Structure 1
Amino acid sequence: MNKYELMYVLKPATEEAERETLLEKYKGIIEGEGGQVDNIEEWGLRKLAYEIQKETEGFYMLMQFQSDVDVPTELDRNMKIADAVIRHMITRIEE
C-alpha cells in the first residue's frame, strides 16, 4: 500500500452537516477498498490566494491515508462531481 495526502477546499457556504457527510463519504471510499485513514485535519475557513469559481474563501480539509493505487483515482472522480468541492489535490507521500 502507498501513502497519500488529500487536500480539498470546500465552498465557504457549505453547511457543517454537508462537510461531515463529504468527509464520511471520502473515508468510506478509502476504507471500502481496504485502505486506512491515518490523520484528518480541519484547517477551517481561510482566504484563498486567488479567486476560484467566484469564491475568495474556502474551508480547507487535509487527510492522510494508505491505500492501493486505485483509490486516489476513485476519490478524484468523486471530488470532480461534488458541487461543494472547489479545488482538490491528491499527492503520494514518499517514505
Structure 2
Amino acid sequence: MRNYEVMYIIKPEVEEEKVTALMEKFKSVVEEKGAEVTKLDKWGKRRLAYEINKIKEGIYVLMQFKAEPAASAELDRVMKINDDIVRHMIIREGE
C-alpha cells in the first residue's frame, strides 16, 4: 500500500453538517477500497490564494491515507463530480 495525501476545498456557503457529511463520504470512499485513513483534519475557512470561479474563500480539509492506486483513482472520480468541491489535489507521499 502507498501513502497518499489529499487536500480539498469545499465551497464556503456549505453548511457545517454538510461539510461533516462530505468529509465522512470521502473517508468512506477510500475505506471501501481497503484503505486506512491515518489523518483527517479540517483546517476551516480560509482565503484562497486567488479567485476560483468568483469564489474568494473556502473550507480546507486535509486527509492522509494508505491505499492501493485504485482507491485514489476512485476518490478522484468522486471529487470531480461533486459540485461542493472547489478544487482538490491528491499526491502520493514519498516522491
TM-score interval (norm. to shorter): over 0.9
Instruction: Report the aligned-residue RMSD.
Output: 1.0
Residue 30 of structure 1: aligned partner: 30
Q: Distance in 1 between matches of 2:43 and 2:11?
A: 14
Where does structure 2 lack aligned partners over 5 or more consecutive residues?
none
Residue 57 of structure 2 is aligned to residue 57 of structure 1: yes
Deviations 1:15-71 (A, max 9, x none): 111111111111111111111000111111000011011100000000000000101
Alignment partners' CA distance in 1, 2:30 and 2:84: 19
Kindly provide the amino acid, as one letter, of the partner of residue 72 in structure 1. Answer: S
TM-score with structure 1 length normalisation? 0.96
Partner of 1:94: 94
- Give ranges in structure 1 of 5+ residues lacking alignment: none
| 1:1-95 → structure 2 map (5 Å cutoff) | 1-94=1-94
SS at 1:87's partner residue? strand
Give the Cα separation in 2 of the matches to 1:53 and 1:82.
15
Q: Give the Cα separation in 2 of the matches to 1:10 and 1:27.
A: 15
Aligned to 1:60, the other structure's residue is in SS state: strand
Paired AA for residue 83 in structure 1: D
- Dislocated runs of 4+, deviation >6 Å: none
Q: For residues 33 and 79 of structure 2, what CA distance do their matches in structure 1 show?
A: 17
User: How many aligned positions are there?
Assistant: 95
